[in-house]
Amino acid sequence: MGITVNVSLLTEYERTQLGTRQPLPERYLGLPPEELDARIHAARATLGSRVVLLGHHYQRDEVITFADHTGDSWKLARQIGEHPGAEFIVFCGVHFMAESADILAAPHQQVILPDLAAGCSMADMAAPDQLAVCWQELAAHGLDAGLVPVTYINSSASIKAFCGERGGIVCTSSNARGTLEWAWARGERVLFLPDQHLGRNTAFQMGIPLDRMAVWDPDEPLGGLTPDEIARARILLWKGHCSVHTRFTVRQIEQVRAQHPGIRVIVHPECPWEVVQAADASGSTETIRKTVRESEPGSVWAVGTEIHLVNRLAREVAPDRTVMTLDPFGCLCSTMFRVSPNHLLWVLEGLVDDQVHNRITVAEHEKMWARVALDRMLQVS
């Protein structure tokens, strides 16, 4: 039997343990790649338009090849409404993406995450109780007036709902600038969570100086700040980060430039500020792909983002352009990697047999306000 999970009630640790406690059936282990591919194709053919597969760029090649749509969080979120007739949305990504899909999906649609252990450490850096305390402390000091919460899509449904209920919005790395413009048109100060680096890099590109930004540490009283520091800030940056993108360093950029004179460097805006400043360009995964693909023939690029995207892009643009990873050891998103062809086959064959494994649902009281925040995001061009 499958499991229906309200993931908004679970911590990342609990999700991981739940995924560990539910091993794949023995018959799905040790299958040769040829059999996996053939059976996935067969299940897809049987299900037809009843199922839509969404695949994030960071998925492994042997999974992404089956996706009906590939993209970053922004692009995939926009695809959900394009398939109103589908009964099932299989999201090959991580838990916050599946939550967002359930929020945006039609009532008759069911969202499935192939592996419940596919989480996101960044999303868990902003816990609902921590955000509630943050808001209460700001209110106690009279600092909540004119404050607009903006949460990165890499956050739980409960965080999105909190923001939606308080006039806030969700953003992705593709539309972070537009959402900040939206927020500052409605208030003088933004609380940006959970990734401080995306917030800092985007605000800086919009002309906000670093001394008008402050980092809110949820483990410290009043975020480790003074009331004057908060009052001066145009943007409060939650102390969170992506474990993949913080691996990239200025030293790596210096080394790759020394080894490959004339190389261009492009990185994701989840990288630290000094790395983005040292690079030639920065942008979301969609922006990175577009920039490299549209560069002149003969271009050589070092890319600072997850290794599966980098390798796939390198194959796509070869031999006219050369792409390499900025990190010589590769930068794998280990939680994305947990979704395997075996898990995908298991959930698809389950659907063929009228069994729904790993359905992801968001509680109705959270779904309403999270939907408000996500709809605001989708309306921002």
**Residue appearing with tokens 């000094």:** 274
* Within a domain: 197: yes
In terms of Cα–Cα distance, which of 286, 280, 283, 333 is closest to 302? 280
Q: Which of 8-22, 332-346, 356-370 has the lowest mean pLDDT?
A: 8-22
Average confidence (pLDDT) over 183-191: 97
Range of the domain at 28: 4-119+338-363
d(CA 153, CA 120): 11
Q: Cβ(300)–Cβ(262) under 8 Å? A: yes
Determine which helix (DSSP H) or strand (DSSP E) holds 53, and give its type and residue range. Answer: strand 51-56
pLDDT, tens digit, for every residue of 60-75? Answer: 889 999 999 998 877 8
Average confidence (pLDDT) over 251-268: 97
- Chain centroid, CA 209 distance in Å: 26
Domains: count for the chain:
3
d(CA 256, CA 160): 39
pLDDT, tens digit, for every residue of 301-359? Answer: 999 998 889 999 999 999 999 999 999 877 777 777 788 999 999 999 999 999 999 99
The pTM of the full predicted model, rounded to 2 decimals, is: 0.85
What string of H, E and C letters represents the secondary structure of 114-177? CCCCCCCCCHHHCCHHHHHHHHHHHHHCCCCCCEEEEEECCCCHHHHHHHHHCCCEEECCCCHH
pLDDT higher than 60, residue 17: no
* Within a domain: 189: yes
* Within a domain: 66: yes
> Are 223 and 179 part of one and the same domain?
yes
pLDDT higher than 80, residue 203: yes
> Are 148 and 197 part of one and the same domain?
yes
Establish whether the linkage from the previous residue to 319 is cis, with ω within 30° of 0.
yes
Predicted confidence at residue 15, as pLDDT, reads 42
AA identity, residue 242: C
pLDDT higher than 60, residue 8: no
Mean pLDDT, rounded, of the chain: 90
d(CA 110, CA 350): 13
What is the token pair recorded at 362?
């968001």
Phi, psi of 378 (to 5 degrees): -65, -25
pLDDT higher than 80, residue 229: yes
> Are 79 and 141 part of one and the same domain?
no
> Are 26 and 85 part of one and the same domain?
yes
pLDDT higher than 50, residue 14: no
Q: CB-side exposure of 28: number of CA atoms within 13 Å?
A: 18
> Are 40 and 97 part of one and the same domain?
yes
d(CA 122, CA 95): 12
In terms of Cα–Cα distance, which of 270, 324, 260, 269 is closest to 292? 324
Task: Give the other-Cβ count within 10 Å of 263's Cβ.
Answer: 18
Q: Cβ(183)–Cβ(152) under 8 Å? A: no
What is the token pair recorded at 6?
């309200």
* Within a domain: 377: no
Question: DSSP letter at 361?
Answer: E
d(CA 279, CA 275): 6
Last residue in a domain, options 238, 264, 284: 238
Predicted confidence at residue 19, as pLDDT, reads 40
Predicted confidence at residue 22, as pLDDT, reads 61
* Within a domain: 28: yes
> Are 49 and 145 part of one and the same domain?
no
* Within a domain: 244: no
Average confidence (pLDDT) over 87-99: 91
What's the CATH code of the domain at 84?
3.40.50.10800
Average confidence (pLDDT) over 71-85: 83
Average confidence (pLDDT) over 186-207: 97
> Are 15 and 61 part of one and the same domain?
yes
| Radius of gyration of the chain from its Cα atoms, rounded to whole angstroms | 21
Q: Which of 10-24, 178-192, 252-266 has the lowest mean pLDDT?
A: 10-24
AA identity, residue 107: P
* Within a domain: 33: yes
AA identity, residue 14: E
pLDDT higher than 90, residue 127: yes
pLDDT band of 117, cuts 50, 70, 90 = confident
> Are 61 and 104 part of one and the same domain?
yes
% of the chain with per-residue pLDDT over 70: 93
Average confidence (pLDDT) over 79-103: 90
pLDDT higher than 80, residue 292: yes
Last residue in a domain, options 238, 267, 289: 238
* Within a domain: 369: no
